[in-house]
Amino acid sequence: MNDFPPFGGGDARKVNFGEARAAVLPVPYEGSVSYGGGTSQGPRAIAAASGQLEMYDEELDWCIDEAGIFTLPPVQTAGLTPEQVMAAVHEAALAPLKEGKLLCTLGGEHSISYGVFTALREAKARPFSILQIDAHADLRQSYQGNIHSHACIMARAHELGIPFVQVGIRSLSATEMQFLRGQGLESNVFWARRIAEAGSSRDWMDGVVSRLTEEVYISVDVDALDPGIMPATGTPEPGGLEWYTLLALLRRVAERRRVVALDLMEFAPVAGLHAPDFLAARLFYKMIGYALHGAKELE
């Protein structure tokens, strides 16, 4: 039985799959967590919190559920190998992508983005690039013997030949740094430290946009945010992005590029602490809202 709470809760406009513009795909999977666990509880906690939030977005002056948000059944991952999990995510992602839905994947650990990347390649004739917003570079070739570890997702994207831009990075190994330099990818990294130094100047965001192709997949690891506002994640790092900085970036990208799919990963709810659940749910609303409201209608 699927008792997963629909994203948006009971008050959201009821839509069937056909009329929905956004399809939410919950993937409650954690198979390669390195430190704090709990990401398998992330999708349910975010979906439950989403029902407590206003649908009306004052920034966009728009009710986000007007787009029609349909929640797909969660991907079942119990007993599967990492390769089988990727195949299951691929399978679940393919139909909504082929039908032109904005696929919005709710993790779960970051490794599962791989299944969506491969599905997106199969579903779309046009190339796309990835905007990864994360504290970590995730460029290890493998981690703890697993190529489908959360620490390797961007190495897998690179193998697939998908160009990417990284924002909010502040933790990586010397080997990952060598990889970035060796591949000439360093200029595609927007370090959290530099973003902090830029203060209220948002000129750097134009550099992010200019490095993205016309069609963009946005992958957000919640640990990109500062742990002061987002402590509910397995591997927090100090010095993260601020709320309005992240929103401004997401909005600018959505205004100037076409967002074809997005995900929100690595949320691990903390019992008794519900502010991060609400933050994650609001962030997911904002990502969907920016992507679907349309650049032309924005100021």
* Interface contacts to Mn ion, rule CB under 5 A: 134-136, 221, 223
Minimum distance, C-beta of residue 225 to Mn ion, in the bound complex (Å) = 10
Burial tier of 1 (Cβ tally within 10 Å: 0-12, 13-18, 19+): exposed
With respect to Mn ion, which residue has the nearer C-beta, 87 or 177?
177
User: 115 preceded by cis ω (within 30°)?
Assistant: no
Residue 293 · residue 252 · CB < 8 Å: no
Minimum distance, C-beta of residue 38 to Mn ion, in the bound complex (Å) = 14
Structure tokens that stand for 189 in this block? 């990294």
With respect to Mn ion, which residue has the nearer C-beta, 97 or 130?
130
Beta-sheet pairing, 62-63 with 56-57:
antiparallel
With respect to Mn ion, which residue has the nearer C-beta, 9 or 36?
36
Closest CA to 217 of 113, 292, 295: 113
Minimum distance, C-beta of residue 168 to Mn ion, in the bound complex (Å) = 9
| Number of other CB atoms surrounding residue 271 within 10 Å | 8
Minimum distance, C-beta of residue 276 to Mn ion, in the bound complex (Å) = 15
> 263 in the Ramachandran plot: left (φ > 0), alpha (ψ -120 to 50) or beta?
beta
Whose tokens are 């100090």? That residue is 238
Residue 131 · residue 253 · CB < 8 Å: yes
Minimum distance, C-beta of residue 111 to Mn ion, in the bound complex (Å) = 11
Minimum distance, C-beta of residue 149 to Mn ion, in the bound complex (Å) = 12
Minimum distance, C-beta of residue 146 to Mn ion, in the bound complex (Å) = 16
Residue 30 · residue 108 · CB < 8 Å: yes
Residue 261 · residue 112 · CB < 8 Å: no
With respect to Mn ion, which residue has the nearer C-beta, 171 or 213?
171
With respect to Mn ion, which residue has the nearer C-beta, 162 or 172?
172
Structure tokens that stand for 19 in this block? 């009329």
CA distances from 242 to 75, 89, 148, 210, 230 (A): 31, 30, 29, 22, 10
Minimum distance, C-beta of residue 286 to Mn ion, in the bound complex (Å) = 19
Between CA 248 and CA 65 the distance in angstroms is 21
With respect to Mn ion, which residue has the nearer C-beta, 5 or 108?
108
With respect to Mn ion, which residue has the nearer C-beta, 86 or 135?
135
With respect to Mn ion, which residue has the nearer C-beta, 136 or 156?
136
